[in-house]
A = this chain, B = another copy of it.
Amino acid sequence: MRHVISVLVENEVGVLARVAGLFSARGFNIESLTVAPMPTVASFQAEEGMKNVSGCSRITLVTHGDDGIIEQIIKQLNKLIPVTRVVDVTDGSHVEREMMLVKLNAEREVRNEALRIAEIFRAHVVDVGPTSLIIEITGKGEKLNACLTALAPYRIVDVVRTGQVAMLREPEKV
């Protein structure tokens, strides 16, 4: 089964290698992973809503595997010292989103056609050059795939995806 796991970790050198190592040691492939620092905007750190997470980063990873083994991995993750919290987001009602940049080698004649398709997928142009343009699109993985298929005739020369991030729907705290 597919699992989306959110891990809050302290910013220590090597923590990402250790988290990734836990999965590879069991032969589990990580389909996608994102890690970024939690914001340290003082103004809202002090707000009652959010706990102090400065000096922390959040890892969101997607993996496929037997539920029992995933449960074991989550237990192991919880034992790692720099790990503050682990949530299997797939257990609850949640929102999943991903961002993708696509570079098209669109000559002037077909550019408008390509832009119309981008518009249908609510994509935005973030850069344009003499023979290329870069569009940005967000959504679920399937939407991004559908957009790529629709854009295929316009010479896709590069694609980069962020991997999924996810958030529980309930008003839960970090």
Contacts and interface: CB of A to CB of B under 8 A. Distances in A.
Contacts of A41: 145, 148-149, 152
Taking each of A95, A158, A170, A174, which has the highest tally of chain B beta carbons within 10 Å of its own beta carbon? A158
Interface size class of A (residues with CB under 8 A): 35 or more
Contacts of A17: 17, 20-21, 23-24
Interface string A16-57: 110011011001111111111111010110011110000001
22 contacts: A14-B21, A17-B17, A17-B24, A21-B21, A34-B34, A35-B163, A39-B145, A39-B148, A44-B151, A44-B152, A44-B156, A49-B105, A105-B171, A129-B170, A134-B167, A157-B171, A158-B172, A158-B173, A160-B165, A160-B166, A162-B163, A162-B165
3 shortest interchain CB distances as A-B pairs: A14-B24, A44-B152, A162-B162
